[in-house]
Chain A
C-alpha cells in the first residue's frame, strides 16, 4: 500500500516536473510580455521531434544527451524568431490579439510537424542505463523517471536562480511588474523580450524531450498538453514562477493519484480547480493583483465604402444568390457543394454568435465550442431518446445552450479580459471531458444515427421522403435542409442586428469602448454582458443543433478547444464587430480549406499563415479591405488622412 502510494507520488512528480518546465516558460512570457502563448505546446512537440532527428544518426546513448542540449537551443532560436517577427508587431494592442496570433502559429507549426515527420506516435530512444529500475522505499521504480525528476528539477532550479540572482532576472521580474517604469530607468526592455521568449521555448523543448522518452512522441502531443499547462499557469498565478512550480507539481500528483483511484474525475478535476480559483482568487495562488489588460481595444471592422442603400441591395442579392445554390445540383456541380455550403452557413451562424459577444462587448470567449457542442448533443440526445421532432430537438437545444450560457456567464463575467478567456476555455474543456466519459453521450465515440422529421407530435415530414419540383430540379433531403440552415442564419442575423440597433445594443457597444464609463453612466454592465452572452450561447447552440440535425451525429470533438479557436479565426478573418464579417470569414475559411485540400493535405499550414498575416496586418478583417484600399486606389491622397469612423448603422450586407 505504502509502496503503491510512493509509486504514484513519484509518477505524479515525473509529470509534475514536465508541467513545471512548460508552465514556467508560459508564465514568465505572460508576466513580462503579457502574451498568452498557445504555440507553447507546439514548441514542446517540436523539441521532441528535433530530439528524435538528432538521436537518429547518433544513437540512443550519447545521442539522447546531445539532443537534450541541442534541440532546446534550436527551439529557443525558433522562439526568438517567432517573438521578433510575429509577436513584436502586436505589442501595444489588446493582449487578446496575441491569443489569436499564437493560435494561428499552432496551426502552422503543427502542420510543419506533419510535413517533417510521419503521423502517429513513435517512441524516443533513451540511453540504456536509464532503462534500469531501482528500489525506492520498497517499490521498484524506473530510473528514467527519477532522471526526469532530477534533471527537470535542476532546470527549474536553474531558471529560478537566474531570475532571482542575475541582473537579467531582476529586469525580467521588474518588467513583469511595470514595463514602462523599467524603460524610464534606461533599460531597453524590448531587447529582453526575444530572450525571454526564446528561454521559454527552450524550456518547453526540454519538457517535450523528457516526456517524449517517458511516453511517446506524436504530432498531437502539443495540442493535448497546452491546456493543462494553461490551467497550471492560471492556478499558480499568471506571471508567477513560484506559482508555476507549485501548481505544476500539484496538478501532476493530483492527476496521477486520481487516475488510479477515481478515474472518472481525472480529466475534470483540474478544470474545476481552475474555474474555482478564477472565481475566488483570479490572480491565482501566487500571482499579484490582477494584471491590467493594457494596450488598445479590440479592433472591429470599420464600416465599408458603400452607402447603406447599396449595402442593403447587395445583402439581398447575396441572399438571393445563396437561395439558388441547391438548384444547380446535378447540372452545374455535385451535391457535395450543397453540403459544403450548409456547413459554411452553420459555421457562419456559429461565428456570428461569437461576434455578438466578442465584437460588441469585448468578451473574448475561448470556449464557445461549449455551446455549439451543447446544442449538438442536445439535439442528438432528444432525437435518439425523446422525440424525433426536429422542432422539439432544436427548441430544446437552444434552451439548454442558453441555460448553460447563463450559468457560465453568471460565474465568469465578473472576471474580464484574459481571465474571462481562460475561464470559458476551462468550461469548454470540462464539457469536452464530461461528454467523453458519460454513458448517455456514448463516451469518446459520440452519438450517431439521429434522424428527425419536421413537425410535432408525430405529424410532419421527413426531408428525405419528400421532394419539391422546380422545373427539372427535384429538391429533397439535404437540399431542403439547406433552406433550413439559410433561414436560421438569416433569422439570427436580422435578430442580432435588430438587438444591436436597440438601446440594448448601444449599451453593449459602449461597454466595448469603455466599460468603466458605461458604469459611470449608471448601467449595470455585468447584466448587459450576461444577457449578450446568453443570446450568443443560444445562437451557438442553434448552430451545433443544426449540424447534428443535418448529419445525425455529435462527438466530443465538437467542444474541443481547436473548434473554439477555429471559430475565432473566422470572426477575425472576416471582421469582428460587423455580424456579416464572420459569415464572410466562414466562407473564406471553408473555401480555402476546400480549395487547398485539392492541392495539399497541409491546408492548415496555409490557413494558419494567412491567419497570422491577418492578425498582424489586417486585424479588422476582410471587410475592412475596401476601406483600406480606397485611399490607395483614389490616388495621391495619403492613406492616413481619414481614420474611417465606425459606421453607425453597420449596414446590411449579408
Chain B
C-alpha cells in the first residue's frame, strides 16, 4: 500500500489552555472519501483546523504528500493542495459569485490541475446564471456549492468539508451528495466532517468516529452501519 495522501499522527491540539484533541491520528488515501463523524464538540472542526494550519498542533505531526505540514500556516497549506470548506460556508457576502471564485484563482495545487472558473461553472450549473449576484443573495445550498467550487478553483486536491449538509433541506442534501460523488470521480479526495452519520455512510469509503477529542472507531461504511454499539454510544443513532 502506498503512503496515504494525508496522514495525521498523534496530534494534540486546542486553543490556549484548552486541549481539544488528544493523540489523534487518521489518514486519508488518494481518491478516497473519508468521513470524520461525531457529536457536537467532539473536536471535528478543530481537527480540520489543525490540518489546515489555522491552529497549530502542540504535539504530533501532519504529513501531506510526504511533506511535514504541521507548522505551516493556512496560507501555505492551501498552496500544497489542501482546501477547507468551512462550516457556515463563509462566502464573501458582498462579492459577486464570480468574484468569490476569482479571488481563489491563484493556481495552487499539484495533482489535479486546478479547475478553471469556466469548468467550475460547468460542474455547478446552478451558479452559472448567478455569476453577477452578490454572495449574500444565494440560498444556503447555493452558498455551499459556491464554497466547494471556490475550493476547487483554488486548486484543491484534498477538500476538507466541514458539515456541508448542516441546515440544508433534504433534497438539497441529495444534490450536494451527488456533487461530492461527482468530484470524487474526477479525482478529488475528500475528508468529510459530519454529525449526520447517514451522509457519511452513503458517501464515505472509510469512517472515523471521534469522541471527546479522540478517535474511538475506524471502519468502512458497511462495518460502521452494522456496529450498533458504536452508533448508539458515540453518535446517538439507533439504526
Contacts and interface: CB of A to CB of B under 8 A. Distances in A.
A171 interface: yes
Please report whether the interface of chain B is mostly helix, strand, loop or mixed according to DSSP: loop
B93 A288 contact: yes
A330 interface: no
Interface string A158-182: 0000000001001101100110111
B95 A185 contact: no
Interface in B93-109: 93-95, 99, 102-104, 106, 108
Given A170-B103, A174-B103, A185-B150, A180 B75 contact: no
Contacts of B84: 184
Nearest to A191: B75
B47 to A, nearest CB: 15
B104 A185 contact: yes
Interface residues of B, number: 24
Nearest to A189: B75
A349 B190 CA distance: 61
A185 B79 CA distance: 9
A171 B52 CA distance: 20
Contact of A183 (B74, B83, B106): B74
Given A184-B84, A186-B79, A178 B92 contact: yes
A571 B114 CA distance: 53
Contact of B95 (A170, A183, A184, A187): A170
A186 B95 contact: no
Nearest to B73: A183
Interface in A331-387: none
A186 B94 contact: no
B113 to A, nearest CB: 16
A486 to B, nearest CB: 43
Contacts of B95: 170, 173-174, 177
B108 A174 contact: no
Interface residues of A, number: 17
Given A180-B54, A181-B86, A187 B103 contact: yes
Contacts of A173: 92, 94-95, 99
B74 A184 contact: yes
A184 B52 contact: yes
B38 interface: no
Given A173-B95, A177-B95, A184 B106 contact: no
Interface in B37-52: 52
B103 A185 contact: yes
A181 B150 CA distance: 11
A650 to B, nearest CB: 22
Contacts of A464: none
Contacts of B19: none
Interface in A142-163: none
Nearest to A185: B104
Contacts of B154: 185-186
B77 to A, nearest CB: 8
A187 B106 contact: yes
A188 interface: yes
Contacts of B79: 186
Nearest to B108: A186
B78 A184 contact: yes
B128 interface: no
Contact of A171 (B76, B90, B103): B103
Nearest to A182: B103
Interface string A180-221: 111111111000000000000000000000000000000000
B92 A181 contact: yes
Contacts of B54: 180, 183-184
A188 B73 CA distance: 10
A186 B75 contact: yes
B86 A184 contact: yes
B25 to A, nearest CB: 24
Given A177-B93, A177-B94, A186 B99 contact: no
A170 B106 contact: no
A187 B90 contact: no
A180 B94 CA distance: 16
B106 A186 contact: yes
Contacts of B76: 186
B92 A183 contact: no
Interface string B100-134: 00111010100000000000000000000000000
Given A173-B95, A184-B54, A186-B79, A178 B106 contact: no
A642 to B, nearest CB: 12
Nearest to B136: A288
Given A184-B54, A186-B154, A170 B94 contact: no
A171 B73 CA distance: 18
A185 B78 contact: yes
B108 to A, nearest CB: 5
18 contacts: A167-B102, A170-B99, A170-B102, A170-B103, A174-B95, A174-B99, A177-B94, A178-B92, A180-B74, A181-B86, A183-B74, A184-B78, A185-B78, A185-B103, A185-B104, A186-B74, A186-B76, A187-B106
Interface of A: 167, 170-171, 173-174, 177-178, 180-188, 288
Given A173-B92, A181-B90, A186-B76, 19 more contacts: A173-B95, A173-B99, A174-B103, A178-B90, A180-B54, A183-B54, A183-B73, A183-B74, A183-B75, A184-B86, A184-B90, A185-B78, A185-B106, A186-B75, A186-B106, A187-B75, A187-B103, A187-B106, A288-B93
- Nearest 8 CB-CB pairs, A to B? A186-B78, A181-B90, A188-B75, A177-B92, A185-B104, A174-B92, A183-B74, A174-B103
